Each structure stands twice: as structure tokens, then as C-alpha cells.
Structure 1
Amino acid sequence: MAMALSNSIPANTIKVGKKKILEAVEYDKICDFIHLYDGITIDCELELYNNFNYVDRKTLKSILQTEWSSLLRSQHWRYESLAQKHLKLFQDQTKKNDDPTILIKLAVAERMTPVSLCRSILQEKYKFENKSDLSRLLKYPHLIDDPILCANVMQCICSDIQEGPLVDLRRRIIGEEYEFKLKELARNAGMHYYTEHDLRRLGYDKTPDLKMILPFLYKGEQVNWIESKAGFGDVKTHKWNIRQQLNSYSNRFGAGIVIYWFGYHNELPDLSENKDGIIVLDDFPEVQHITLLNLEQESDTACIFDVNDNSTAEFL
């Protein structure tokens, strides 16, 4: 059966919303606010919404997560060195009262996430040899034999939006939600694709979320795969994604699209690292920019139809 390209997808309605693609000045202001904020991240998030109300909330939340994750990695050595001091401070306070917010207040004072503080204190108190034992107490804090410490750890887990079992679950669900959204949009657009599961079953190791069975054109450029990222694309993160994932997709399958659903730094599309065929978007491609292969149309050759002059060029 011969194939031809079609532009018969119904048009989308115009989307209006808060800003997701940020200029350097805007992005730097948000990062500076996060770095200078004196308090825990759950409060910082609310202040971000108030101070940058023109920016999409998911964009702000994603930037906050990235910046605090970087801070945690850079300060990990300091947290370990202060664990004994923090445990003693906690024990001294519990002699005075059984307040379940002692660790929250200490986390604010030390500019730590509540769960990071819990992790270092639990390790110092119980001297775990296996990380799995420590993770188990954070996942099931009711197993902690000290009732005041147990109450404080529970409070920290519920108040931390950066790490901990609840955060891990939330991030996994959001990632799966946007992968599902991508598949639904691609299916509704009439695209034919392999999923990551399909490709792994076929023996591929590094796989995009969607690999097109039939490539399509986006603004005239052939697209062979789409990768979903449920986060904000800053320059550092995008370059890391290129090195770790996207370059291998381009080398193996050809050009493709990476979608940062919560927006990106406006420099990303023009980075030289994208030269091997990486297209950066903040949403699923708009239908007016997509050209699909039409499997139902028969002809001797499959052709590209130019909607402006109705001329054709051989495609296959």
C-alpha cells in the first residue's frame, strides 16, 4: 500500500495561560528568591506563587525542586558532619516538651529540608549499616521506638515537598500521568508509535517514551521520537538530558522532540547541543504544524503535499 501525507487533523483551540517559557532575567530572579528564602520549601513555594503570579504554578514548583535538589547535593557533607549536634539539640528539646514540630523548626534554622534532617538524625541515633533500614523507618515512621521522634519524623514527612516517600510517590505519579497524556495526544492525532515498553521488549536499552512507527513532519522537519519530561527545562538539566538520553535517541533513530511540560529557559531551543536533531517544546505539537502520513490514500509514490502551492515532492 502506498502512503501519502495528510493535514486533515482538526485544529486546536488557542491556549491561553500563565507563562512557562522564561527569559534569563525572569529565571534568575526566581532562582535568587529561592536561594535567599529563609524557611522550608513548602512555605517558599507559597511565596513564589505570590511573588511571581504571572508564571505557571507547575513551572515555579519544578524550578524550586531543581534548585533545592542541587543545594541538597552540594551540602550533603555538611549535614552528615552536623548529625551529632542536631541529635543532641533534639534530645535537649524533648526534655522540655513533647512538641512534634521540634525538627521542623530545626530544619528552618539550619536551612535543611525536613526529611534530610530526619535522615541524618535517624542514622546518628540508630547507626544503621544498611541504607535500606534507614529508608524503611522513613517509609514507615510508626516503627520508630521513640514516640516524640516518631511524631516529629511524621510531621517532617508531611511538611517536606522536596524529598521523602510521599514526594517520591508524587513524582512517580506525575511522570506517569504526563507519559499517559503524551500517548493519548499522539493517539488522538492519528500517530502510529512504539512505546518504551514495546522497544525494550524488542531489545533496545535506551528508549524514548514514543518511537514513531511512521515518522511525521513538524514544521517541515521529520520527527522520529518524542520524549516526555514532567518538569522545567533549565540549561543545565537540558544539557544533562542530551548527554544521558537524547543524543543516543538522535544517533539511533534520527531527529525527535523533547517536551518539557512545565516550560523551559528560552535559550534551550537555540543551544548548539541540539544540532543533531533535538526539538524543544513545552507542549504537544500544535496540529497546524503537524503533517502525517495517510495510510488510506493509494498512489504510485508517497508524496509531501505543500498546502501553499499544491505541488508535490517525492518522499518515499
Structure 2
Amino acid sequence: MKLSKAQYDEIAQFLGHVQPTRQSLRKLKERFPSQSQSTLLSIFSQEYQKQIKRTHAKHHTAEAIETYYQRYLSGVMQNAAAPVLLELANEVDFAPSLMARIVLERFLQEQEGTIPSKILINSMLRDPSQIPDGVLANQVYQCTVNDCCYGPLVDCIKHAIGHEHEVLLREMLLKKNLSFLAEEQLRAKGYDKTPDFILEVPVAVEGHIIHWIESKASFGDECSHQAYLNDQFWSYWNSCMSVREKQLLYASQNF
């Protein structure tokens, strides 16, 4: 099902007035029942990530970090079983996994006397049992499993969905008897920038000549399209297409 710009704007406007929680996601589905769960979740995640980027700096000042850490210590002292970090993150409109990262890094810095490495932090966020404090480990775990948009659990889900769509796309290309080179084959040939599939014989789809396919398995709004163009697609254009192919594409676009 195609989503019009007006429908997208209505969904984005609705999301601007709710918190990024599972309860809000249920409200979103109730408000827009005709849209699929995956589409709404993708838009939900993208809009929230935009909000986080806008407010990220204020949560990482020295004053904010110390305030969050002291509130965490005070909260668990009163009730170690309460979801102190999760509630704090929701209170200040910050992603629970990112709040957990801030407090974990501050805790380790106090314990070790030095700034911990990102590798260590990421490892502990993926597996909280590595954290040398049972209470904090539980708090971090509560944050990661209740975060809809960030954290190791979300990253794992996104990776699995992306891989699933690549497999489905490969099967569709084979079913259509289209000749293609997959990403691993392109890397073996020395390409440093590789889309998921390059069609050895371009095809026409709805009046456009298709040379290569990059599967994102997520909703593409204007912001993400522009980011993909700058970060990936122009590189594919330069490294994966011959001069003749570019001429053909220009011709098809100007026809």
C-alpha cells in the first residue's frame, strides 16, 4: 500500500504529541488502523530518532550527566527493584537505552578512574550480566528491553529484518530470471561501495531504468532518502555504473 505525503504528515504530526513508548505505538495503530504495523513502527522510530538528534547535546553536558547519575543513585537507594532509569528516561524524554549508556559510563568511570572504552560499554549493554553491579545490571536490562527505537535489542531486530528482506529480494530476482551480482560477489571483484544487487542487464520499471537495488526494509521519508543519497547512493553511482550506464539513465530520466 502506498502512503501519500499528506498521510505521512498526519502521522508525523500525531507522533509529535506523544511519548516514544509502546503505549503510544498502540495509540498510533488505533488512530491509523489502515496502515500496517511495520509502516507505523518504522515512521515512529524515524520521527523519534529525529527528536533525539535535536535534543542529544543537552543530555550529554557534564551537569546533565551528573544530575542523572545522582538521581539514579538516590532512586535505587530508596527502591532498588523500581525501574529508576527507565522512569527517568521517560521523564526527560530521552531514549531509555541512551540513558542507560550515560549512567553506565559514569558508573564505570567512577569505579575505574578512567573513561571506559566504547567497546566495553557496547558489550555491557548487549549483555548486562557483565556489569559489575547487580542493581545497575538490572536497571540497564529494563531500559534495553523497553526501548522501541534504540539499543542492542532494536539493532538486532533491524539487522534480522534487513537480512530477511535481502533474502526475499534475491528470491524475487531469481523467480523473474534476472541476472544479477550480489553484494558479496561485488566485494570479491574489488568494489568498495556495493549495493545489495547490481542487475547485469538493466530492466525498466514504471518508465525508469533500474541498474541496481539497495534494500533498506524501512520506511523512506524525505530526510532518510537524502541521507541515503549522500552516504551511499551517489557512491554507487560513481563506483558501480559505467559511463554508458549513466548516459542511459540520464536519457531515461529526460525522456
The within-5 A match list for 1:269-284 is none
Aligned to 1:112: 94
Higher RCO (CA-CA < 8 Å; seq separation 6+): 1
State the secondary structure of the residue aligned to 1:22: coil
In the aligned structure 1, how far is the partner of 2:252 from the partner of 2:182? 20
TM-score, length of structure 2 as denominator length? 0.86
8 Å Cα contact 2:179/2:200 also seen in 1: yes
Where 1:222 maps in the other structure, the secondary structure is strand
Structure 2 match to 1:9: none
Matched with 1:214 is 201
Aligned equivalent of 1:246: 233
Root-mean-square deviation (Å):
2.1
1:236 matched residue in structure 2: 223
> What is the match of residue 33 of structure 1?
14
Where structure 2 has 5 or more consecutive residues not aligned to the other structure, the ranges are: 110-114
In the alignment, is the contact (CA less than 8 A) between 2:208 and 2:252 conserved in 1? no
Contact 2:209 2:252 in 1 (8 A): no
Give the 3-state SS of the residue equivalent to 2:148 in structure 1: coil
Q: Distance in 1 between matches of 2:55 and 2:252?
A: 37
Q: Deviations over 1:147-204 (max 9, x none)?
A: 2222111111111121111111111111111011100001011111110111111111
Quick one: which amino acid aligns to residue 99 of structure 1?
A: A
SS at match of 2:177: coil
What does 1:125-274 correspond to in 2, within 5 Å? 125-127=107-109, 128-219=115-206, 221-251=208-238, 252-253=241-242, 254=245
Corresponding residue SS for 1:243: helix
Identity percentage of aligned residues: 28
Q: Does 1:59 align with 2:46?
A: no
Structure 2 counterpart of 1:28, which letter? D
Superimposed CA distance per residue, residues 104-133 of structure 1 (whole angstroms, 9 cap, x where no aligned partner): 111111111111110111112222331112
More helix by share: 2
Contact 1:104 1:156 (C-alpha < 8 Å) held by counterparts = yes
Q: Please list every run of 5 or more consecutive structure 1 residues that lacks an aligned counterpart in the other structure.
A: 1-18, 256-273, 279-316
Offset, 1:50: 1.2
Alpha-carbon distance between aligned partners in 1 of 2:39 and 2:100, rounded to the nearest angstrom: 28
What amino acid is the match of 1:149? L
SS of 2:200's partner is strand
Distance 1:277 1:220 in 2: 8
The structure with the largest alpha-carbon Rg is 1
For 1:124, the equivalent position in structure 2 comes to 106
Q: Work out the CA distance in 2 between the residues paired with 1:192 and 1:97.
A: 62
Q: Give the number of equivalent residue pairs.
A: 240
Amino acid at match of 1:26: Q
**Structure number having the greater strand percentage:** 1
Q: Which residue does 1:101 correspond to in 2?
A: 83
Match of 1:214, SS? Answer: strand
